[in-house]
Amino acid sequence: MFVKRLVMNNLVVLVDDDSVTNVLNEKIIRNSGFLCDVVIVQDSKEALVFLSKNVAEDYDQAFIFLDYQMPNLNGIDILRHLDQNTIENSNIQLFFLTSSDKDALLVKINSNPRVSKVLTKPLTPMVVNSIFQAQHELL
């Protein structure tokens, strides 16, 4: 289990319309030992408003896990809006969550420099720990 040793103010935002996935992902993140606030946003339009407020400015690090397929706006729509309307913030890492294995989709998502990585749903303890461990090693 990875335990964040430095005292930092970290934020994890889970954006997914599936409540079961959100509960599972939140549990995995909390069980990782990483010290963070976890915010769950289930509606894509609500996520757009929440993320546009530059929520990460009050945190040392922010990790956003964004589902690709959601009603109203998909993850690419949200990403496009963020690219056009938010301040660049180096303390944000954005991870796309998808159950798709379509190569064209993955290339499109991975080509955006704001996206740290595309992950397959659901998150696993090993993936979460590797993300947080990599961040810890950068500090």
**E strand segments, 1-139:** 10-15, 37-41, 61-67, 92-98, 115-120
Q: Give the integer Cα–Cα distance in Å for 38 and 90.
A: 19
Nearest to 131 by CA among 97, 93, 102: 93
**What pTM does this model have?**
0.85
Q: What is the pLDDT of residue 5?
A: 41
Which tens digit of pLDDT belongs to each residue from 7-59?
Answer: 468 899 999 999 999 999 999 999 998 889 999 999 989 988 888 776 667 78
Q: What is the pLDDT of residue 114?
A: 83
Output the pLDDT for position 7: 45
> Domains of the chain (ranges plus CATH)?
10-138 (3.40.50.2300)
Q: Is 5 exposed, middle or buried (0-12, 13-18, 19+ CB in 10 A)?
A: exposed
Residue pLDDT, tens place only, 84-125:
766 566 678 889 888 876 666 666 777 778 888 888 888 999
Residue appearing with tokens 């589902």: 67
Q: How far is CA 62 from the centre of its chain?
A: 8
List beta partners, residue 95: 65, 117
**Contact predicate 10/138, CB 8 Å:** no
94/56 Cα distance (integer angstroms): 12
pLDDT the model gives residue 49: 85
Amino acid at 51: L
Q: Show the tokens assigned to 6.
A: 């430095």
10 Å Cβ neighbour count for 138? 6
